[in-house]
């Protein structure tokens, strides 16, 4: 598929370690075999301190570790990482930095988020959010329609096994980095880690997610410095309020030719007639509906 050449990173549904074959019966009692995604524990250490144990599908553990620490404000944008070591047998990843770190007090305060798989935010959930200035950007509707088509037709673990969320870093009409995980917060963190380790700037970028536009999603997107957040799913009231406060463009229910913008609509350029855009196929409408669960 020529469109896949646009992706720098794309899911690998053929990776046997990410799913398993399970036998059961269907609604008629007939025997069936289906693929289900895996969940594995991954314990994260920052230097000598244990931070958290996460449940994840197991791909890109180094990116997940770095992105998690960034989005928890445990890594600073100017920190120098000296090593990231993953041990598959121990199910652990260790991030080492030049700077001395000690987050014992911060680890005592936890906020359980509304994300699936029980995401957790340490410390003040609004730490670093206030005063964050997002770059100027635009979102052409022709880009939005092209992105949703390319993302929804790309090979993914979701299309093979379901029960998983996806997030994609995009620029104009090009999807760049596509990550999946059992929790959407993990998929976000993998992209944050990729951006940090590859020196990718957030200016002008678009963040696409299959999940709900909750306060957690808005906060993480703003903290990453990305000015536009798009989802196939719907909104929460606090997510909308925070997006308006931060000047984030927030677009939900983006399926086929339809979308709704509840914040930052001034960035949208209507350069394509929606009537010229075909509706989604049934498979992808079902994918969007299930992703909202």
pLDDT surpassing 50 at residue 78: yes
Average pLDDT score over the chain: 88
Residues 233 and 102 in one domain: no
Q: Is residue 16 part of a domain?
A: no
Q: Is residue 12 part of a domain?
A: no
How much is the average pLDDT of 10-25? 92
Residues 273 and 148 in one domain: yes
pLDDT surpassing 60 at residue 284: no
How much is the average pLDDT of 158-178? 91
Q: Is residue 29 part of a domain?
A: no
Which of 26-35, 230-239, 271-280 shows the lowest per-residue confidence on average (mean pLDDT)? Answer: 271-280
Q: Is residue 20 part of a domain?
A: no
Q: Is residue 227 part of a domain?
A: yes
| Among 42-46, 75-79, 100-104, 276-280, the range of highest mean pLDDT | 42-46
Residues 47 and 73 in one domain: yes
What total number of domains does the chain contain? 2
Tens of pLDDT, residue by residue over 222-238, are 999 999 999 999 999 99
Q: What is the CATH number of the domain that holds 47?
A: 3.10.20.10
Burial class of residue 52, CB neighbours in 10 A (0-12, 13-18, 19+): middle
How much is the average pLDDT of 268-285? 80
Residues 90, 61, 113, 107: is their CA dihedral positive or negative? positive
Residues 175 and 235 in one domain: yes
Q: What is the CATH number of the domain that holds 204?
A: 3.40.140.10
Domain that holds residue 171: 139-291
Question: Comparing C-alpha atoms, which of 44, 51, 67 is closest to residue 104?
Answer: 51
pLDDT surpassing 50 at residue 65: yes
Q: Is residue 200 part of a domain?
A: yes
Tens of pLDDT, residue by residue over 174-226, are 999 999 999 888 999 999 999 999 999 999 999 999 999 999 899 999 999 99
Q: Is pLDDT larger for residue 130 or for residue 172? A: 172
Give the pTM. Answer: 0.87
Q: At a CB cut-off of 8 Å and minimum separation 6, what does 144 contact?
A: 230, 251, 254, 259
Confidence of residue 108 (pLDDT cuts 50, 70, 90): low
Confidence of residue 292 (pLDDT cuts 50, 70, 90): very low
Question: Comparing C-alpha atoms, which of 99, 119, 95, 146 is closest to residue 257?
Answer: 146
Give CA–CA dist 185/198, Å, rounded. 20
Residues 187 and 252 in one domain: yes
Host H or E run for residue 171: strand 165-171
Q: Is residue 3 part of a domain?
A: no
Q: Is residue 18 part of a domain?
A: no
Give CA–CA dist 91/139, Å, rounded. 40
Interaxial angle between packed helices 237-246 and 215-223, expressed in degrees from 0 to 180 and rounded to the nearest 10: 20
Burial class of residue 243, CB neighbours in 10 A (0-12, 13-18, 19+): buried
Q: Which of 95, 122, 149 is the last residue of a domain?
A: 122
CA count, 13 A, side-chain hemisphere, 13: 13
Confidence of residue 281 (pLDDT cuts 50, 70, 90): low
Residues 250 and 169 in one domain: yes
- Tokens read off for 117: 């798989």
pLDDT surpassing 70 at residue 254: yes
Residues 103 and 145 in one domain: no
Q: What is the pLDDT of residue 277?
A: 86
pLDDT surpassing 70 at residue 30: yes
Q: What is the pLDDT of residue 128?
A: 73
Q: What is the pLDDT of residue 99?
A: 94
Which of 74-83, 179-188, 284-293 shows the lowest per-residue confidence on average (mean pLDDT)? Answer: 284-293
Residues 179 and 256 in one domain: yes
Residues 88 and 208 in one domain: no
Residues 144 and 201 in one domain: yes
Q: Strand 249-255 to strand 205-209: parallel, antiparallel, or no bridges (unpaired)?
A: unpaired
Confidence of residue 159 (pLDDT cuts 50, 70, 90): confident
Alpha-carbon distances of 3 from 7, 150, 271, rounded to whole Å = 8, 7, 22
Residues 177 and 215 in one domain: yes
Q: Strand 165-171 to strand 205-209: parallel, antiparallel, or no bridges (unpaired)?
A: antiparallel
Residues 209 and 284 in one domain: yes
Quote the percentage of the chain above a pLDDT of 90.
70
């Amino acid at each position: 598929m020529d469109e896949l050449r646009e992706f720098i990173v794309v899911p690998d549904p053929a990776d046997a370690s990410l799913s398993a074959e399970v036998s059961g019966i269907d609604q008629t009692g007939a025997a069936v075999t289906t693929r289900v995604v895996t969940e594995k524990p991954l314990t994260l250490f920052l230097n000598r301190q244990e931070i958290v144990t996460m449940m994840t599908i197991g791909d890109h553990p180094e990116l997940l570790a770095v992105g998690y620490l960034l989005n928890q404000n445990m890594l600073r944008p100017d920190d120098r990482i000296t090593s990231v070591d993953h041990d598959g047998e121990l199910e652990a990843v260790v991030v080492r930095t030049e700077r001395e770190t000690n987050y014992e007090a911060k680890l005592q305060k936890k906020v359980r988020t509304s994300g699936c798989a029980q995401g957790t935010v340490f410390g003040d959930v609004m730490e670093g959010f206030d005063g964050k200035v997002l770059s100027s950007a635009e979102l052409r509707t022709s880009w939005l329609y092209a992105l949703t088509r390319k993302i929804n037709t790309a090979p993914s673990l979701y299309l093979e096994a379901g029960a998983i969320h996806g997030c994609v870093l995009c620029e104009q009409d090009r999807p760049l980095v596509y990550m999946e995980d059992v929790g959407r917060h993990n998929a976000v963190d993998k992209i944050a880690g990729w951006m940090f380790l590859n020196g990718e700037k957030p200016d002008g970028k678009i963040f696409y997610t299959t999940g709900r536009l909750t306060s957690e999603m808005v906060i993480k997107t703003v903290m990453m410095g990305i000015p536009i957040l798009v989802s196939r799913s719907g909104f929460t009231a606090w997510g909308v309020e925070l997006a308006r406060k931060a000047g984030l463009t927030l677009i939900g229910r983006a399926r086929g030719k339809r979308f709704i913008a509840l914040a930052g609509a001034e960035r949208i350029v209507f350069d394509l007639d929606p009537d010229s855009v075909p509706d989604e196929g049934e498979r992808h409408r079902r994918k969007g509906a299930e992703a909202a669960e």
